[in-house]
């Protein structure tokens, strides 16, 4: 069930009405949302609902044991055991095929090509996200960040709550579960903000992302050998905008939907293409994942303690595993390695005292933005291409002169809009929110209907899945 569909609209309206009817009965309200979340996930494939339920239940039970134990060693054993079991499920479904295929390839290097064919198990939708939620529950309980007693219904709903279930943002148990402990207050719901986020997300996804995918990016990456350098460059720019609008669009819708239910999700994007250095980029891109990797991987590895070499090592390990989290492919590993290299190079650059004055100038900040954007685009090629051979084809086309034959004026306008829109000051959104609050309810309803009609009219035919569903 995809967000920009009639089916989801019906599901959402029915669930929203039911949740608020039961809002005064907190236990019923949460059980209703949990059932609705399983229905939402089951519309993809009902056979994997037991997996979602099992991981959620397991995490809840282990979290309870950690909370009830007073012995630090016992608590740590439960934490390690719980994390290992959760990660084992992720490794089995997501990396079995990748690992076995690489073992077969290594065997073939020794002159004994195997006569075997193997397909990994079907990847459950959103497994990376709900496994990370389960680990976050265990980690927050172990660190004492979650003060309330863990109940199984709350643990199940925390992992499975449908707005964030299949593509995030990654919620911290210590941030979300306290919201489940108290009834929702309809007077505290930011309706205008929620609706505005939903409309903004649909615009990003349906009009900008889908149009760029259909008319530029997908054709370019399907047959790069037929394109000139300018066409290929515009296609890479187009993918940078496509993936941003696709993923941030999903996040906007998810946050807006949760707001209408009375729940708050953290921001997941903060205009990443205006970043001036790699560290700044990761403070702005997929914030819930980058902060999760920082707190649950980079810092436990030692963080920036221990000197430059150890910091570089920890950064590279974190980004390599972050790349592998996105997909079982060497292209994702290299994507992570590139971003790890960017972070290390920036730390070395920033440590040079002689350039500190240069880095503080407005001119250098703009130069840095341009350089960083192109470095990020170069990494996106590995992220988008399904094979290293295709990556090589894409880079080879940049040296080929020729006219622009694939990219249209409309695609260029969408690329410019997707990038320039990130320079809009956040106060503009706040001003629009305040302005909407002054409108009468019928006027706001008419504006919402008109916006949905225009988005449907301008979007391409069909419904493209969100890019991050595959992770």
Share of the chain above pLDDT 70, in %: 95
Three-state SS for 387-456 is CHHHHHHHHHHCCCCCCCCCCCHHHHHHHHHHHHHHHCCHHHHHHHHHHHHHCCHHHHHHHHHHHHHHHH
Contact 120, 98 (CB under 8 A): yes
Mean pLDDT confidence for 436-463 = 79
3-state SS track over 7-25: HHHHHHHHHHHHHHHCCCC
Average pLDDT, the chain: 89
Q: Give the CA count within 13 Å in the CB-facing half-sphere of 354.
A: 0
What is the token pair recorded at 412?
């260029």
Confidence label for 342 from pLDDT (cuts 50, 70 and 90) = very high
**Residue 415 has what pLDDT?**
96
pLDDT tens column, 27-85: 999 999 999 999 999 988 889 999 999 999 999 999 999 999 989 999 999 999 999 99
> How large is the average pLDDT for residues 124-140?
92
**Per-residue pLDDT tens for 81-125?**
999 999 999 999 888 877 877 777 776 676 666 666 666 677 888
Q: Which of 29, 133, 286, 326 is labelled catalytic?
A: 326
- What predicted TM-score, i.e. pTM, was given to this entire model? 0.91
Q: Please, are residues 131 and 86 in contact by the beta-carbon 8 Å criterion?
A: yes
Residue 126 has pLDDT above 70, yes or no: yes
Work out the pLDDT band at 438, boundaries 50, 70, 90: confident
Annotated catalytic, 326?
yes
Q: What is the pLDDT of residues 194-229, one digit of tens each?
A: 989 999 999 999 999 999 999 999 999 999 998 999
Helix-, strand-, coil-residue percentages of the chain, each rounded to 5 = 75, 0, 25
Q: Which of 90, 93, 89, 113 has the alpha carbon at shortest distance from 103?
A: 113
Helix (H) or strand (E) holding 364: helix 362-384
From CA 121, how far away is CA 105, in angstroms rounded? 19
SS3 213: helix
Query: Which of the four pLDDT bands, split at 50, 70 and 90, describes residue 372?
Result: very high
Does 189 or 112 have the greater pLDDT score? 189
List pLDDT tens digits, range 224-276: 998 999 999 999 999 999 999 999 999 999 999 999 999 999 999 999 999 99
Q: Are 265 and 169 in contact (CB under 8 A)?
A: yes
H-helix segments, 43-110: 49-68, 72-109
When pLDDT is cut at 50, 70 and 90, the band that residue 359 belongs to is: confident
Q: What is the pLDDT of residue 114?
A: 61
Average pLDDT of the segment spanning 142-147: 91
Pair 261, 16: CB distance under 8 Å:
yes
The mean pLDDT value for 453-467 works out to: 74
């Amino acid at each position: 069930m995809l967000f920009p569909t009639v089916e989801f609209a019906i599901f959402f309206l029915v669930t929203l009405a039911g949740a608020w009817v039961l809002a005064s009965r907190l236990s019923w309200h949460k059980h209703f949302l949990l059932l609705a979340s399983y229905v939402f996930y089951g519309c993809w494939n009902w056979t994997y609902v037991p997996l979602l339920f099992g991981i959620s239940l397991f995490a809840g039970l282990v979290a309870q044991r950690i909370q009830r134990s007073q012995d630090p060693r016992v608590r740590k054993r439960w934490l390690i055991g719980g994390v290992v079991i959760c990660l084992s499920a992720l490794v089995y479904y997501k990396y079995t095929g990748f690992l076995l295929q690489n073992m077969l390839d290594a065997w073939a290097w020794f002159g004994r090509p195997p006569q075997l064919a193997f397909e990994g198990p079907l990847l459950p939708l959103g497994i990376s996200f709900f496994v990370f939620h389960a680990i976050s529950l265990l980690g927050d309980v172990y660190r004492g960040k979650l003060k309330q007693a863990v109940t199984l219904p709350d643990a199940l709903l925390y992992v499975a709550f449908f707005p964030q279930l299949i593509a995030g943002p990654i919620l911290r148990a210590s941030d979300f579960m306290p919201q489940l402990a108290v009834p929702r207050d309809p007077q505290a719901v930011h309706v205008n903000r929620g609706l505005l986020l939903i409309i903004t997300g649909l615009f990003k996804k349906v009009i900008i992302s889908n149009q760029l995918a259909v008319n530029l990016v997908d054709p370019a990456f399907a047959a790069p050998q037929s394109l000139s350098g300018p066409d290929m460059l515009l296609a890479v720019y187009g993918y940078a905008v496509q993936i941003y609008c696709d993923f941030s669009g999903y996040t906007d819708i998810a946050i807006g939907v949760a707001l209408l239910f009375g729940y708050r999700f953290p921001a997941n994007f903060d205009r990443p293409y205006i970043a001036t250095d790699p560290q700044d980029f990761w403070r702005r891109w997929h914030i819930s994942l980058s902060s999760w990797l920082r707190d649950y991987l980079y810092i436990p590895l030692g963080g920036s303690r221990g000197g430059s070499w150890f910091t570089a090592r920890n950064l590279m390990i974190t980004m390599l595993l972050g790349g592998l989290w996105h997909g079982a492919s060497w292209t994702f590993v290299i994507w992570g390695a590139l971003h790890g290299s960017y972070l290390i190079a920036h730390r070395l650059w920033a440590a040079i005292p002689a350039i500190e004055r240069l880095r503080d100038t407005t001119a250098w900040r703009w130069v840095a933005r341009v350089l960083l954007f192109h470095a990020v685009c170069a990494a996106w090629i590995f992220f988008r291409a399904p094979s290293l051979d295709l990556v090589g084809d894409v880079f080879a086309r940049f040296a080929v002169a020729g006219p622009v034959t694939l990219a249209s004026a409309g695609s260029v306008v969408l690329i410019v809009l997707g990038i320039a829109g990130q320079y809009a000051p956040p106060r503009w959104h706040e001003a629009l929110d305040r302005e909407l609050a002054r409108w009468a309810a019928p006027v706001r309803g008419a504006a919402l209907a008109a916006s949905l009609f225009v988005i449907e009219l301008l979007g391409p035919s069909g419904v493209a899945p969100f890019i991050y569903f595959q992770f």
